[in-house]
Amino acid sequence: MTPARGLGTMVAVCALVAGVAIPAYAATQTPAANAEASTWDEASSESQAFSSSGDLASADLTSTSYSARTADEISQIDAERKALVRAKEQQAAQEEAAVAQQAQQAPQQQSAPVQGAPAAAAPPAEPAPAAPPAANGSWINPLGGAGYYISRSVGSGHEGSDMVTTSQADYTVPIYAAKAGTVITSGEVVGGWGNTIAIDHGDGTTTLYGHMSPGSRQVEVGATVTQGQMIGYVGSTGRSTAHHLHIELRINGAIVDPVGNLPI
């Protein structure tokens, strides 16, 4: 006999002795001791039932722990648990989104005052162009770069300056508004001026452009013009013997010589 086999035999003998001896010992005990022994027997028999076939699942286990969990209930509980997990996931996603949104809003909120600063500074800058310009300020030559000479100016009943153009043909030399304003006169026959436009510049000054080419007026009374806007062509309509621009300048209604007040 090998030592290992001898040890196995010894264990088997001990188990056999215990299995026989303990019931035998229980049978010799008092009723109180028998109650303990019977409790031990019940536990032993239950453990044997579970370990062997499971066909003796106790009524207690069935009625308390497992009978309440039918397949439908288990699936329902499982669905509820999954729904709870999804809800937590959605909540977490919403919280992340909220954090991200706050992160995005933070720069905007920080940039808002920055944007507000130029906006607050802008209004003082905007009234500057809107403020009435000085009578002598910011005029342009109404003939642009076209060639001309001044044959006469204010005096002896002549209320403007005559700018005789190098070109003596209709529709060849454009006339530009010397300053922005509103058209107050626009007609083909305006006294001796012929085809004429006048502009109120809104600052107490007005300009008048006479002898324009027939039918060349580009704007009517009430129209708003910008500085440098083309309003017609140099002509010789009205009381005129040559193509020229008769231009008048008034400040607060008073005739002023365009020469020296306009860049002509």
Give the residues lining the site for Zn ion (CB under 5 A): 162, 246
| Rounded distance between C-alpha atoms, residue 107 and residue 153, angstroms | 63
Supply the minimum distance, in Å, between the C-beta of residue 158 and Zn ion: 6
Of 187, 188, 209, residue with least CA distance to 198:
209
Of residues 180 and 207, the one with the C-beta less far from Zn ion: 207
Residue corresponding to tokens 């109404």: 142
Of residues 217 and 246, the one with the C-beta less far from Zn ion: 246
Supply the minimum distance, in Å, between the C-beta of residue 131 and Zn ion: 32
| Rounded distance between C-alpha atoms, residue 258 and residue 164, angstroms | 14
SS3 state of residue 243: coil
Of residues 107 and 157, the one with the C-beta less far from Zn ion: 157
| Rounded distance between C-alpha atoms, residue 258 and residue 261, angstroms | 5
The alpha carbon of 41 is separated from its chain's Cα centroid by a whole number of angstroms, namely 80
Residue 187 phi/psi, 5-degree rounding, is: -155, 155
3-state SS of 54-70 is CCCCCHHHHHHHHCCCC
Of residues 162 and 203, the one with the C-beta less far from Zn ion: 162
Supply the minimum distance, in Å, between the C-beta of residue 258 and Zn ion: 10
Of residues 133 and 160, the one with the C-beta less far from Zn ion: 160
Supply the minimum distance, in Å, between the C-beta of residue 234 and Zn ion: 12
Which residue's Cβ lies closest to Zn ion?
A: 246
Of 244, 263, 264, residue with least CA distance to 166:
244
Supply the minimum distance, in Å, between the C-beta of residue 166 and Zn ion: 17
